Amino acid sequence: MAQRRADPDGHTDSSPVTLYGEFTSTGNRKVRCAVSLTERDLVVQRLTSAPVGRNKVVLSLKDCVGCRAYRAADNADPAAYLSAYFYPLRRRWMSSGPVRLRLEQSFRLCALHDPRANLDEAEKWARAVRDRADRQRYLRDGVLIGELPRPCRMMLLVNPQSGKGQALTLYNNHIQCMLNETGVSHTLVITERQNHARELVREADLSQWDALVIMSGDGLLHEVINGLLERPDWEEAIQTPLGILPGGSGNGLAASIHHYSGASPVSSEDLLVSCGFLLCKRLVSHMDLVSVHLSSSPRLLSFLSLAWGFVADVDVESEKYRSVGAARFTVGTLVRLASLRVYKGRLAYLPATKDYQGGLRNNETLHCNNHTSSLSPASLQCQQSRDSPCQNTFHNSCHSNNSLKVRKKESTPSRNTTKAPPRPRDTLLLPLDQPLPSEWVVVQEEDFVLMLAMYQSHLAEDLLAAPDASLDDGVIHLFYVRAGISRTALLRLFLAMEKGTHLATNCQHLVYTKVRALRLEPSSPKGIITVDGEVVEYGPVQAEVHSGLTRLITG
């Protein structure tokens, strides 16, 4: 929040001033300002005869995304200019809570007649503001996982058809400006068809970028993650930091990241600005992925959810209401409630409290204590810099896929990805045609209204499905609703899910548990199963969580 800091006695923050200068305003050269930089704030005081409190602005460097120094286009002007960019939390009229709003502070430096000396002074200020802003971290559980380098290079993939079809407009109105202010060099790639992003990241030379950012719904990130896992160098590729910007109608992961930051719930463009701000802060955290096995299709890696029954039906059937944005799920829920279905099947799971870990190695079932993945956390540490400086010939510019040339990795041979060995190795799952180990819990009921496995907090912008979830908690949050629930009770459950209070409704038909693996065997002849909102092969399915397998930009 951009506001004056005060201690319990009402005194303003007394952090020592590290830089001080008197500059004129760029909007009115008659207005002079005293500018002070502390470790935590940028303080701007107009030099007038009015009382101090009326002309003093204290801007928290936690809200600063960048600062730059520059010369005017007019070479006859010897002055240099300094602009700092902030996105403080402010209450806007008619908003339910604080939202991030853009604020720019610009000054004219003309203390010397030498243009070079003025620019040097402005650049000194810009570096100092950026350095101190980078020190103001929103830590996750008090631990800094890592950060992207500055300057930073990103590939930004945009699906122009996602959501209401306004992703490119939203990029032009918000994201391009934010990335430029932060000094992020980015290449814009506009996807043209399904699996375009998957094919691109599977073959691209990832050394060109420090991060891959997806601006779409959750489906495009699903493509990118599975494309990375299909590479021969998947262990290195999956550590490429990923970013998500909400451009679709679901936006479950983007809403989860916003939720983890501790901010009040927002939606639509306010959520986009919030996620853009977190992206610009460049902090990186580990994120779980879930290995999903189907009966005959290639294995998938999932980052958000696995759904069967009511939730999957609503997700797919509400596609016809895509034009209304996130409200499509509300409309779809009401339509499906009018003709509530019962889904038959068998559900089993391995509770998260169990120490047991079984797996199939050399056609044998093994018990491996304290071993959850072939990748250790130490192998996933964030690299804070690249060996070479930032070089990007597409600096901050928009390119269609017809003109953008993304270099392919020369060492990548052509291959049939369906024959690639399972990676990473699953240690908890047996083949779908084999019986489950005795340590698994088998649900006695076989009539369900829904089964929902969540790995992050939000299923959509307005659905806080797993309020206890975190990015890398190493568990699957499993929900299922038994048959027999009334339409009114189910509606009440989904309304409570908007605020994450559904677990406190004491609904007798709702069961929630934390698991490390699960298996579902539908017996209904027809139905829908979705993974990250994408329809997959209908039939037996099982899943296992891999803790902290990839990395996500969370600010």
Whether residue 355 lies in the annotated active site: no
Could you give the C-alpha distances from 26 to 84, 90, 118, 487, in angstroms and in order? Answer: 12, 24, 15, 61
Q: What are phi and psi of 328, to 5 degrees?
A: -60, -35
Distances from the Cα of 274 to the Cαs of 11, 98, 147, 155, in angstroms?
A: 30, 11, 18, 20
* Pairing between β-strand 152-158 and β-strand 184-190 as defined by DSSP bridges: parallel
| Model pLDDT, residue 117 | 95
Taken in order 392, 396, 402, 403, the sign of the CA dihedral is: negative
Please state, in angstroms and rounded to a whole number, the distance separating the CA atoms of residues 127 and 16.
18
CA of 128: how far to CAs of 20, 134, 307, 376, in Å?
11, 10, 49, 37
**Using one digit for the tens of pLDDT, what is the confidence trace for 386-426?**
333 333 333 333 333 333 445 555 444 433 444 444 578 99
Residue type, 433: D
Query: Hey, how many other C-beta atoms are within 10 angstroms of the C-beta on 32?
Result: 16
Consecutive H or E run containing 276: helix 268-281
- With DSSP H G I counted as helix, E B as strand and the rest as coil, what are the percentages for the chain, rounded to 5? 25, 30, 45
Distance in angstroms (rounded) separating the CA atoms of residues 540 and 296: 9
Which domains, ranges and CATH numbers included, belong to the chain? Answer: 17-136 (2.30.29.30), 146-289 (3.40.50.10330), 305-354+427-547 (2.60.200.40)
pLDDT tens for 25-55 read: 998 888 899 999 999 999 999 987 655 556 8
Distance CA 470, CA 456 (A): 6
Q: In the chain, what is the straight-line distance between the N-terminal and C-terminal CA atoms, in Å?
A: 16
Mean pLDDT of each 10-residue bin along the chain, 555 residues long: 39 73 89 94 85 79 96 88 96 82 95 92 97 77 71 94 85 95 95 94 95 94 95 95 91 95 92 96 95 92 96 79 61 77 96 58 29 31 33 34 45 42 83 95 95 96 94 96 94 92 94 98 91 94 96 93
E strands, 376-459, are 397-398, 441-442, 447-454
Q: Which of 41, 63, 210, 218 is catalytic?
A: 218
User: For residue 248, what are its two tokens?
Assistant: 């679709």
